[in-house]
Amino acid sequence: MENQIQQEVRWVKRIRRIGVPVLVLYILSMIVALLFEKMLLIPLMWSVALFLIFMGHTQYRLLRHFSTHPKSLRWLQVEYADTWISAILMGTFMTTLLTTESLGFGIGFLFGIWGLTEKYRSRIIARQLKQYDPDIPTYDEVIERMS
């Protein structure tokens, strides 16, 4: 188990190391898509959504090893589901905004409310995790500790 955690931490550190060049490439491709073909924004946003889901899954896989209470594991799953919903809303919002504007504005409204309540949801999840498992580290603490 320790070897698996070490391998996942190395993978996360590798992703963080290449994050800035990928971000620059992503911003340049967004600018090109906005200038020449707006429909190219759809696969760009879905790639970001898939990346969010992947990173949420990595976070869940790392933190579940440190969870000692079944209810704290359940709250980690809620946090992972929250990541899924955010990613799906983001991709759906961009797709419908570019194809069906009226429906896109409605989904954009939902995406906006979901984004505005993110801090509140994360506080509730963190409080519940600490209630059931006070010694569980945060994701960043695990990455730092295993470095």
pLDDT tens readout for residues 30-60:
999 989 988 999 999 999 999 999 999 999 9
Cα–Cα distance for residue pair 115/90, rounded to 1 Å: 10
Q: Which two tokens stand for residue 126?
A: 């963190």
* Cβ atoms < 10 Å from Cβ of 92: 19
Residue 8 dihedral angles phi and psi, to the nearest 5° = -65, -40
Please tell me the number of Cα atoms within 13 Å of 56 on its side-chain side. 19
Residue 19 pLDDT level (bands cut at 50, 70, 90): confident
- CA dist., res. 79 & res. 19, Å (int): 23
pLDDT of residue 86: 94
* 2 vs 127: CA distance, rounded Å: 27
Residue 146: per-residue pLDDT: 80
Question: Which pLDDT band holds residue 131 (cuts at 50, 70, 90)?
Answer: very high
Q: How confident is the model at residue 115 (pLDDT cuts 50, 70, 90)?
A: very high
Q: What is the pLDDT of residue 55?
A: 93
C-beta separation of 107 from 93 below 8 A: yes
Q: What is the tens place of the pLDDT at every residue in 76-90?
A: 999 999 999 999 999
